[in-house]
């Protein structure tokens, strides 16, 4: 029988202290090195760099291999989503939300629909079946996003196998998405006041099968990484974010919880049916890259638990609000009845008639708090729609976090942040 | 358990002359701040005394046609009491400037840069007020209501115009702005007509460049045999 060997981990923050020591020049360098002129070097990382997961550009100022200054440059994927939203009806903007965090489009769809429904005042009147299906969507998206985040993170720090492993599992989620929404990637599944369609026959069984399989996959992924000496050495004590810093910089999601702050919008302000479901909120203790990794692993397990509960409790009934002024009426009635025809026509051409006012809705997305602020002057079009994207806010801490680290640690820190530029740049 | 309304009242009791009565819509409390200059002081008090340690978001709204023209919206949240609060203030176009709250929450840094970028409102005391999503030197503020959805031609040719990419006009590339979708479909296109169309486009581009005093780029492409 194999003997379990305890890994001698390096003290957290020991490497950062080493780096700081090198910066202040506390230990005297060898005599022959003392006369060498030291010159700061400016290095441009990205926007096309595999570890920047998209088009993030960071201008690094280096003293040897130590970073002395970091200036993130975002906006390479800016498409003006907020401007576009001001020029279309609420329903027409749903496909654009797919393109925010394009690794979790289902969760974005749900977040946006809930925000508009909050403005309309119907977010608590959704049919139960719709709410359960939406929770399933959110948790599937969370697993999918974390699987990708972990796989690419492991690849960034040198382990290719994990990436192939997690992508095999994501493929199953894409298959589920395809049979649920008709699209693998750009799902556009939610509608204002409901969903584009009900679960297809047999979908619940497919999803149960997936739940059984993904748990095994998560365990296997952990065996690849959690006690892997190389992975641990590259992530422990790297990118330590203290609790006050995490709050001050407005971090959210796993990056916030990695620093030990137990805050989850699903618990703090339950929406949909999260208050009827049992789940835990994992938190880290040291706030380093390794903790953020552990939080994501555990969140996936909790998501599977949530999925199973939803599948067990799934009630029968309609998935759309029975109000023709908000959700489109059933097609057979549109074609046979006058009133439904009018509702359909008004709904498509003018959109739902939202009251004047303003709301903010924050949704616990896989990456953090995805918020929609809607300023309405009444009618079917938002006067202003602001997307508070978690990736944008989370990246704001980089100028504080990176200095003092080695250049190879940038990759380990960026991967542990798990950001998406489509959402950051909007 | 504290509520947003209680916290709003406490904030109002501290600054009675500056803050309006709390307004509620869909369970959210909004306070109107009458003087933009007081916002750092109010925010510092809200953070220090009322526990609003998390700045969720700052954003701006262009109320085109009204006076004052702009509205700024601050979303605060406290991890201690789990209560959100919204502060709003109005800013006229002539003024266009207000003090920064980066001294209160570091998270304000990028939010304020984004507002400067998109709406053109300046934040006094911000450590690094540059454009963030658009590129440095871009002349417009795209989220203003008088900026058209289709965009405006920019007067910065070296930034906005690029040389044609190597594959531009190749056999598998659709030509944007062609006659119709059938003619643009790569599989039905004839290379000779492509080259003609591409040359016409290149000439148009050269004309624009020359109008801006730029030297001619690489020559036109020969039709393929």
> Looking at this predicted complex, what is its ipTM?
0.82
The DSSP letter of residue A240 is -
Of A42, A303, A296, which is closest to residue A151 (Cα–Cα)? A296
Question: What is the rounded CA–CA span in Å between residue A404 and residue A13?
Answer: 11
**Partner residue facing A360 (CB), from B53, B62, B75:** B75
Does A83 contact chain B (CB < 8 Å)?
Answer: yes
**Inside any domain, residue A67:** no
Mean pLDDT, chain A, integer: 86
Contact B102, B109 (CB under 8 A): yes
Contact A94, A80 (CB under 8 A): no
Peptide bond into B161 cis (omega under 30): no
Q: How many structural domains is chain A composed of?
A: 1
List own/partner pairs for A240-244 with CB under 8 A and 24 or more apart.
A240/A12, A240/A13, A240/A16, A240/A286, A240/A287, A240/A288, A241/A287, A241/A288, A241/A397, A241/A401, A242/A287, A243/A287
Whether A400 and B106 lie within 8 Å, measured CB to CB:
yes
Give the pLDDT of residue B7. 85
- For the segment A228-255, the average pLDDT, to the nearest whole number, is 89
Whether A249 and B143 lie within 8 Å, measured CB to CB:
no
User: Mind listing the pLDDT tens digit for each residue in A265-310?
Assistant: 998 888 889 989 999 999 988 888 999 999 999 999 999 999 999 9
Report the 10 Å Cβ neighbour count for B168: 14
- Domain limits for position A112: 81-425
**pLDDT of A412 over the 50 cut:** yes
Q: How distant, in Å, are the alpha carbons of A333, A362, B115, B175 from that of A124? A: 26, 15, 33, 48
Q: How far is CA B197 from the centre of its chain?
A: 36
What CATH number is given to the structural domain containing A348?
1.10.645.10
Percentage of chain A exceeding pLDDT 90? 32
Could you tell me the residue ranges of all domains in chain B? Answer: 4-124, 161-211
Give the pLDDT of residue A53. 75
Q: Which residue has the higher pLDDT, A359 or B201?
A: A359
**pLDDT of A236 over the 90 cut:** no
**Inside any domain, residue A18:** no
The minimum CA-CA distance between B15 and chain A, rounded to whole Å, is 24
**pLDDT of A12 over the 50 cut:** no
User: Mind listing the pLDDT tens digit for each residue in A223-233?
Assistant: 888 888 888 88
Q: How distant, in Å, are the alpha carbons of A1, A26, A395, B2 from that of B215? A: 76, 55, 40, 68
**pLDDT of B84 over the 80 cut:** yes
Give the pLDDT of residue A34. 55
Whether A360 and B57 lie within 8 Å, measured CB to CB:
yes
Question: What is the rounded CA–CA span in Å between residue A400 and residue B188?
Answer: 54
The minimum CA-CA distance between B196 and chain A, rounded to whole Å, is 31
- For the segment A78-89, the average pLDDT, to the nearest whole number, is 87
Give the pLDDT of residue B219. 47
- CB contacts under 8 A, B 47-106 vs A, are 53-57, 59, 61-62, 71, 73, 75, 79, 82, 84, 86, 105-106
What DSSP string runs through B86-134? EEEEEE-TTT-EEE--TTT-TTHHHHHHHHHHHH--EEET-TT---SSS
- For the segment B67-91, the average pLDDT, to the nearest whole number, is 91
The minimum CA-CA distance between A319 and chain B, rounded to whole Å, is 23
- CB contacts under 8 A, B 113-132 vs A, are 114, 118, 131-132
Percentage of chain A exceeding pLDDT 70? 91
Q: Which residue has the higher pLDDT, A118 or B67?
A: A118
Whether B79 and A263 lie within 8 Å, measured CB to CB:
yes
| Residues 6+ away with beta carbon under 8 Å from B168 | B198
Give whichever of A17-21, A138-142, B179-183 has the largest mean pLDDT.
A138-142
Whether B82 and A268 lie within 8 Å, measured CB to CB:
yes
Q: How distant, in Å, are the alpha carbons of A273, A362, B55, B148 from that of A269? A: 11, 9, 17, 38
State the CATH class of domain B4-124. Answer: alpha beta
**pLDDT of B215 over the 50 cut:** no
Question: What is the rounded CA–CA span in Å between residue A40 and residue A66?
Answer: 10
Question: What is the rounded CA–CA span in Å between residue A377 and residue B65?
Answer: 13
Give the pLDDT of residue A1. 39
Instruction: Please give the sequence-ordered ranges of beta strands (E in DSSP) within chain B, or none if there are none.
Output: 23-25, 28-33, 54-62, 70-77, 84-91, 97-99, 122-124
**Inside any domain, residue A37:** no
- For the segment A191-199, the average pLDDT, to the nearest whole number, is 89
**pLDDT of A139 over the 90 cut:** yes
Give the pLDDT of residue A330. 84
User: Mind listing the pLDDT tens digit for each residue in A358-394?
Assistant: 999 999 999 999 999 999 988 888 999 999 999 999 9
Question: What is the rounded CA–CA span in Å between residue B101 and residue B76?
Answer: 12
Instruction: Kindly provide the b/e burial profile for residues A228-249, where b requires at least 16 CB atoms within 10 angstroms of the residue's own CB.
Output: beebbbbbbbbbbbeeebbbbb
pLDDT band for position B216 (50/70/90)? very low
User: Mind listing the pLDDT tens digit for each residue in A37-67?
Assistant: 667 888 888 787 776 677 888 888 888 888 8
Sign of CA dihedral A401, A402, A403, A408: positive
Mean pLDDT, chain B, integer: 78
- For the segment B41-63, the average pLDDT, to the nearest whole number, is 90
**Partner residue facing B132 (CB), from A74, A118, A119:** A74
Q: Which residue has the tokens 């957290």?
A: A12
Tell the burial category of A368 from Cβ atoms under 10 Å away from its Cβ (0-12, 13-18, 19+).
buried
Does A396 contact chain B (CB < 8 Å)?
Answer: yes
The β-bridge relationship of strands B97-99 and B122-124 is parallel
Of A164, A423, A415, A155, which is closest to residue A296 (Cα–Cα)? A415
Give the pLDDT of residue B182. 65
What three-state secondary structure class fits B23? strand
């Amino acid at each position: 029988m194999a003997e379990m060997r305890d890994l001698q981990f390096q003290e957290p923050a020991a490497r950062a202290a080493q780096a700081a020591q090198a910066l202040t020049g506390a230990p005297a360098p060898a005599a022959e090195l003392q006369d060498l002129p030291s010159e700061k070097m400016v290095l441009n990382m990205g926007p096309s760099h595999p570890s920047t997961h998209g088009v993030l550009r960071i201008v690094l100022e280096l003293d040897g291999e130590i970073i002395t200054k970091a200036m993130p440059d975002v906006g390479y994927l800016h498409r003006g989503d907020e401007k576009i939203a001001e020029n279309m009806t609420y329903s027409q903007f749903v496909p654009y939300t797919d393109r925010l965090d394009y690794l979790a489009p289902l969760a974005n769809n749900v977040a946006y629909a809930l925000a508009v429904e909050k403005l309309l005042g119907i977010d608590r009147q959704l049919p139960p079946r719709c709410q359960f299906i939406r929770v399933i969507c959110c948790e599937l998206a969370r697993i999918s996003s974390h699987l990708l985040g972990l796989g690419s993170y492991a690849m960034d720090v040198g382990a290719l196998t994990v990436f192939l492993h997690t992508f095999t599992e994501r493929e199953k989620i894409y298959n589920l998405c395809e049979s649920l929404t008709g699209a693998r990637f750009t799902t556009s599944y939610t509608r204002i006041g409901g969903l584009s369609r009900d679960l297809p026959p047999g979908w619940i069984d497919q999803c149960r099968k997936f739940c059984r399989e993904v748990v095994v996959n998560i365990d296997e992924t952990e065996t690849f990484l959690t006690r892997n000496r190389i992975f641990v050495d590259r992530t422990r004590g790297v990118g330590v974010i203290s609790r006050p810093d995490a709050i001050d910089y407005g971090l959210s999601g796993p990056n916030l919880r990695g620093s030990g702050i137990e805050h989850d919008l699903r618990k703090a302000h339950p929406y949909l049916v999260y208050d009827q479901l049992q789940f835990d909120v994992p938190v880290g203790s040291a706030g380093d890259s390794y903790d953020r990794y552990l939080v994501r692993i555990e969140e996936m397990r909790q998501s599977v638990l949530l999925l199973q509960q939803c599948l067990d409790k799934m009630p029968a009934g309609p998935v759309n609000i029975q109000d023709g002024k908000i959700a489109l009426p059933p097609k057979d009635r549109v074609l046979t009845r006058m009133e439904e025809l009018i509702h359909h026509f008004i709904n498509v051409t003018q959109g739902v008639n939202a009251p004047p006012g303003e709301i903010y809705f924050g949704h616990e997305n896989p990456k953090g708090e995805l918020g929609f602020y809607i300023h309405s002057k009444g009618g079917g079009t938002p006067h202003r729609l602001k997307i508070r994207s978690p990736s944008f806010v989370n990246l704001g801490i980089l100028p504080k976090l990176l200095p003092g680290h080695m250049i190879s640690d940038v990759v380990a820190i960026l991967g542990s942040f798990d950001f998406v530029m489509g959402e950051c740049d909007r | 358990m504290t509520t947003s309304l209680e916290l709003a009242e406490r904030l109002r009791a501290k600054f009675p002359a500056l803050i309006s009565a709390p307004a509620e819509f869909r369970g959210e409390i909004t306070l109107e701040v009458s003087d933009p200059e007081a916002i750092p002081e109010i925010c510092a008090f809200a953070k220090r005394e009322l526990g609003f340690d998390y700045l969720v978001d700052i954003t701006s709204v262009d109320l085109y046609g009204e006076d004052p023209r702009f509205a700024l919206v601050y979303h605060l949240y406290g991890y201690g009491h789990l209560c959100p609060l919204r502060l709003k203030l109005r800013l006229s176009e002539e003024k266009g400037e207000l003090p920064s709250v980066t001294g209160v929450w570091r998270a304000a840094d990028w939010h304020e840069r984004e507002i400067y970028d998109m709406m053109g409102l300046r934040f006094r005391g911000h450590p690094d007020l540059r454009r963030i999503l658009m590129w440095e030197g871009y002349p417009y503020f795209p989220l203003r209501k008088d900026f058209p959805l289709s965009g405006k031609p920019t007067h910065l040719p070296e930034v906005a115009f690029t040389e044609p990419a190597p594959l531009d006009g190749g056999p598998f590339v659709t030509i944007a702005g062609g006659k119709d979708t059938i003619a643009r479909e790569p599989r039905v296109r004839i290379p000779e007509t492509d080259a003609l169309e591409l040359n016409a486009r290149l000439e148009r581009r050269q004309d624009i460049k020359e109008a801006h005093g730029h030297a001619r780029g690489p020559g036109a492409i020969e039709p393929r045999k």
